[in-house]
Amino acid sequence: MAASDRPASAPAIPVVPAFACWAGAWLLGSGVLAAVAIGAMGGDLDGDLTIGQLTVAAVVGWISFLVALWVVSRRYGSGTFVADYAWRFEPVDLIGIPVGVATQLVLVPLLYVPLRAVWPDTFDAERLEERARELADQAEGLSVVALVLVVVVGAPIVEELVYRGLLQRSISTLTPPLVGLAIASIWFSLIHLAPVEYPGLALAGAVFGAGLLWTGRLGPAVVTHAAFNATGLALVLA
């Protein structure tokens, strides 16, 4: 698609409401409410979570974000996710499947080659895969289904709405688009709270955001993110 053929983006949510939306939903949903829900299940957000606890925490966080997105859209936007968060899909967006697979299998591993050469202990391969392996070791029966739904379906949809549809578009109203892409990608990596994964997640976020930047739609970002996560999950479950 030539640059002149790209669809025009609808006006983004202003930056201050956008970050207030993120902060409120993050603190309430992924913080307070998730902690209460996990505590009721006998767990602790600061400890190792079972797949069931992870699923509950994720769903609570997603609901908080979706409600916050709806409120901000009604108050500061058009009232529709299609216009305010570029929630549109086209058949061509399926190109995100091979892009996501390649990002997981090629781009991210290549990024860690020089990092591991300079800081071998920090970016040790086993440390990098530790969280995923811990979940994979628990996965059996219905827990596999729950893990797939969380990692491959729910996370790509909600995270792309928040970090690309909301934040990247909002930041880009004040900065050049590539700067908005970079800031949103770094932010996306940091909220995962796993320093060893920061470089790979920032790179993956940049790939996801590039789909939005190029097409003006969130479809490519969601599909690429889902394929990226599905590939990583398949590797640890194999």
DSSP states along 75-125: HHS-S-HHHHS-----GGGGGHHHHHHHIIIIIHHHHHHHHHHH-TTTT-H
Phi, psi of 88 (to 5 degrees): -135, 150
Judge contact between 160 and 221, C-beta under 8 A.
yes
Question: CA 225, CA 204: separation in Å to the nearest integer?
Answer: 8
Kindly give the confidence (pLDDT) of every residue in the chain, 238 residues in length, as a single tens digit, with 9 standing for 90 and above.
Answer: 433 344 445 578 999 999 999 999 999 998 898 889 888 888 777 777 788 888 999 999 999 999 999 999 999 999 999 999 999 999 999 999 999 999 999 999 999 999 999 999 888 888 888 777 777 777 777 788 888 999 999 999 999 999 999 999 999 999 999 999 999 999 999 998 889 999 999 999 999 999 999 999 999 999 999 999 999 999 888 7
- Quick check: 61 and 34 in contact, CB under 8 A? yes
Q: Which of 8, 17, 1, 142 is nearest to 77 (CA)?
A: 17
